[in-house]
Structure 1
Amino acid sequence: MSETRRRSILTAFTGAALGTGLVGGQAVAAPRTTAATTAACPTVPVIPATRRTPFVTNTDLYRDPQYTEGTHYARRYKRQARTDADLAASHPFTRTTVLALHGGGIEPGTSEIALGIAGYDPATLAPVVPVPPDGRAVHDYWMFEGLLGTPTGPGDPSNSDLHITSTRCDDLVALSMAGGSANVISVHGCNVDQLKQTVPQGPGIPNPAVDSVLVGGLNATFKALLIQELGLANITAYDGDLVPALAGTDPDNPCNRGLLRQGAQLELTLGLRKSMFGTFTRPGRPGSTTAKFGHFVNACRSAIHQMEQRTDQAHY
């Protein structure tokens, strides 16, 4: 049975029942310079334009017979194997999970960025460098991705129809992975107009609509480390509190549903996301990452590494 079929069956049963490598704290992610494929996305079967209201939850979407997993949307995840059978010593459990709740064509670029932060090559899904025995060079990840093509006429379904508000995410695998991690970092794409209204601007202050990221979440320490490391990588990062609607402070946000009940959220402008890829299409992005991509994911990985080394996380 295929993985996709298995997940679909599990989802149906659930619904019925419920009613880059790291060395010394730094990751190495070589930029890609080879030409990326520009082939068009595969043709997606037409969906009757009968739904005009957003899906309320993931379960709402999964139950809709007009949408098929593996054709219209996909879920991908990676959970590291962890074992502690040692009576004399303690071995760490998973400490960090990276999420892309609106990946694929919903908020383009977030899937690839999440994979990079987790320590994987977006094109091959292989670890960027050999994983050391403690597994710390890689992190767990979960992604929900839109696979729909560009609408060709009025009423045609689009990837934006698949956008589930973060606080409404009820995918049990996503929530279980977040809930079992000390640190959760969620990657999103934002509307630049939302930043222009509230982020400070003026002489010497970059236009927030270009190559910037809003760092939110309830974990103030994690936020500060991310802003610090992104700044060292020459990436403009703002505190999410400047834009309350994108601050990621709702306790129901999956980034705040980890073991500590507080995490981090990244809202990347379209300009920043585009600068990370030579070809900004769904088939082209994985194989065309730029130097900016490496700088960004390495900065995030450095912040994660510092979080995991804190004494208050030693028992996880």
Structure 2
Amino acid sequence: MTETRRRSVLTAFAGAALGTGLAGGQAVAAPRATASTTAACPTVPVIPATGRNPFVTNTDLYRHPQYEEGTAYARRYKRQARTDADLAAAHPFTRTTVLALHGGGIEPGTSEIALGIAGYNPADLTPVTPVPPNNWSTHDYWMFEGLLGSGNSAMHITSTRCDDLVALSMAGGSANVISVHGCDVDDLKPVPPGPGTPGRPGIANPAADSVLVGGLSTVFKGYLREELGLAGFTTYDGDDVPSLAGTDPDNPCNRGLLRAGAQLELTNGLRRSMFGDFSRAGRPGSTTDVFRRFVPACRKAIHRMEQRTDQAHH
């Protein structure tokens, strides 16, 4: 059985458990109509497609005959095996999931950075940091990656419209979720209002190699900004750029058990500085010292989150 076929079968089983159907070998989420269900699992907004992006949700993309998994895009994930058969001690399941919703050629570098934050070498997927002596765990991850030579931006699905069942189930089963994204430095700048446009707030002179730290978890944001700052990185609070703040409850970073997570928006300049070869083939094996400073800072922030007493029961 091929890897793609195996994923389709697993997704079908997940769809059967969640009350979904199949279209073109992919699970299609069924409407969630009751008030109690909507409160527990926010629905994906029904927003029409645009000229820039013909797809509203992941399911729209998965159904499209011209976009084949394994050729146009890939989904990679790791859900670690955890067992607790001990009556005398607790062995908690993985508490953190790392997402890269726009990996590969969509927001270049985010796949490799997400793998590093999860604790894996992007070149060969081996764990890069053993648990001893610092007790930093490896984490689950899920990535959607554009594989085309060009035109990958057409597969950019807005985070709040992500309806991939595996991605949402992994986020929903974790206490902490951190989502890695890429932006241009101009995306952080304010836009003054003009005729027919309200404008938008932003950062007056953002550094070209900076990171915007968002999400609904103020604690997680604080840890990330503190650790990244100590590692020499310029960070901004996501609240300064509401359009990239990652504060929508439907954003997968906020769909964990605690309903509040973190989102990183790395500028193109910062991402490029993390790799000696910024091509898709070159990135995994050419990480730089910048990458090796950024990743441990994020991992330490995650470790601090997981050691909090208010997460002891998760």
Is this a same-fold pair by TM over 0.5?
A: yes
How is 1:245-284 mapped onto 2 (pairs within 5 angstroms)? 245-284=243-282
Using a 3 Å threshold, how does the CA distance of structure 1 residues 195 and 53 change in structure 2: closer, same or farther? closer
Q: 1:189-227: CA deviations, max 9, x gaps?
A: 0132121225544xxxxx524110000000000001101
Q: 1:161-196: CA deviations, max 9, x gaps?
A: 100000000000000000000000000001321212
Q: Is 2:95–2:306's contact at 8 Å kept on the other side of the alignment?
A: yes
1:215 aligns with 213
- Residue 129 of structure 1, CA deviation: 3.1
Q: Is 2:275–2:283's contact at 8 Å kept on the other side of the alignment?
A: yes
- Residue 94 of structure 1, CA deviation: 1.3
Q: 1:6-65: CA deviations, max 9, x gaps?
A: 22355578443646xxxxxxxxxxxxxxxxxxxxxxxxxxxxxxx974211111111111
Whether 1:101 aligns to 2:94 is no
Q: Is 2:172–2:255's contact at 8 Å kept on the other side of the alignment?
A: yes
- Residue 284 of structure 1, CA deviation: 0.2
- Residue 66 of structure 1, CA deviation: 1.2
2:283 is paired with a residue of what secondary structure?
coil
How is 1:236-251 mapped onto 2 (pairs within 5 angstroms)? 236-251=234-249
Using a 3 Å threshold, how does the CA distance of structure 1 residues 211 and 224 change in structure 2: closer, same or farther? same
Q: Is 2:274–2:289's contact at 8 Å kept on the other side of the alignment?
A: yes
For residues 273 and 217 of structure 2, the distance between their equivalents in structure 1, rounded to whole angstroms, comes to 28
How is 1:16-165 mapped onto 2 (pairs within 5 angstroms)? 16=22, 18=29, 53-131=53-131, 136-150=136-150, 158-165=151-158
For residues 11 and 173 of structure 2, the distance between their equivalents in structure 1, rounded to whole angstroms, comes to 20
Alignment match of 1:175 (pick from 139, 147, 168): 168
Runs of 5+ unmatched residues, structure 1: 20-50, 151-157, 202-206
Using a 3 Å threshold, how does the CA distance of structure 1 residues 18 and 103 change in structure 2: closer, same or farther? closer
| Larger RCO, structure (CA 8 Å, separation 6 or more) | 1
In the superposition, the TM-score normalised over structure 1's length comes to 0.82
RMSD (CA atoms): 2.0
Percent identical: 78
Runs of 5+ unmatched residues, structure 2: 16-20, 23-27, 31-50, 191-200
1:297 aligns with 295
2:101 is paired with a residue of what secondary structure?
strand
Amino acid at match of 2:223: L
For residues 9 and 72 of structure 1, the distance between their equivalents in structure 2, rounded to whole angstroms, comes to 20
In the superposition, the TM-score normalised over structure 2's length comes to 0.83
Using a 3 Å threshold, how does the CA distance of structure 1 residues 87 and 211 change in structure 2: closer, same or farther? same
For residues 82 and 135 of structure 2, the distance between their equivalents in structure 1, rounded to whole angstroms, comes to 9
For residues 310 and 124 of structure 1, the distance between their equivalents in structure 2, rounded to whole angstroms, comes to 32
- Residue 231 of structure 1, CA deviation: 0.4
- Residue 89 of structure 1, CA deviation: 1.2
Amino acid at match of 1:287: G
- Residue 267 of structure 1, CA deviation: 0.3
2:309 aligns with 311
1:286 is paired with a residue of what secondary structure?
helix
Q: Is 1:189–1:269's contact at 8 Å kept on the other side of the alignment?
A: yes
